[in-house]
Amino acid sequence: EPEVTQTPSHQVTQMGQEVILRCVPISNHLYFYWYRQILGQKVEFLVSFYNNEISEKSEIFDDQFSVERPDGSNFTLKIRSTKLEDSAMYFCASSPLPSGGAEEQYFGPGTRLTVT
């Protein structure tokens, strides 16, 4: 069964460093998302991406964050200058069709980011 994959599974970085989290969405999916979950808290939306553009972003997704689909398979989240409060589990998700709403999102296993 196709699945979303993410690398690395765990990333430790120092405050102020740049990190890139990588995702390979399910191959025939067209909508891509990033969510994060701080330990013990709820899953929070960061950004959605379709047709090489950001469709929607949350207030969390400030200028320190960017997303990119550098090739036909990868979808990346970059944090330019990490802060302690960026420590969280980051989930990539994808959905099959562009109509939105009724399309089910499938989540990858996540990358645990630890900022020290």
Partner 1 sequence: QKEVEQNSGPLSVPEGAIASLNCTYSDRVSQSFFWYRQYSGKSPELIMSIYSNGDKEDGRFTAQLNKASQYVSLLIRDSQPSDSATYLCAVWTGFQKLVFGTGTRLLVSP
Binding site for partner 1 (CB under 8 A): 31, 33, 35, 41-45, 48, 50, 55-56, 58, 89, 91, 100-102, 104-110
Closer residue to partner 1 (CB): 20 or 109: 109
- Two tokens at 76? 């990346």
> Do the Cβ atoms of 68 and 100 come closer than 8 Å?
no
Residue 9 CB, shortest distance to partner 1, in Å, is 11
Closer residue to partner 1 (CB): 45 or 65: 45
CA-to-CA separations, 91 to 32, 66, 108, in angstroms, rounded: 11, 15, 6
Residue 18 CB, shortest distance to partner 1, in Å, is 24
Residue 74 CB, shortest distance to partner 1, in Å, is 18
Closer residue to partner 1 (CB): 15 or 97: 97
Residue 91 CB, shortest distance to partner 1, in Å, is 5
Determine the distance from the C-alpha atom of residue 46 to the mean position of all C-alpha atoms in its chain, rounded to a whole number.
7
**15 DSSP assignment:** T
- Name the nearest CA neighbour of 46 among 103, 116, 110: 110
Cα 106 to Cα 95: distance, rounded to the nearest angstrom:
6
Closer residue to partner 1 (CB): 10 or 15: 10
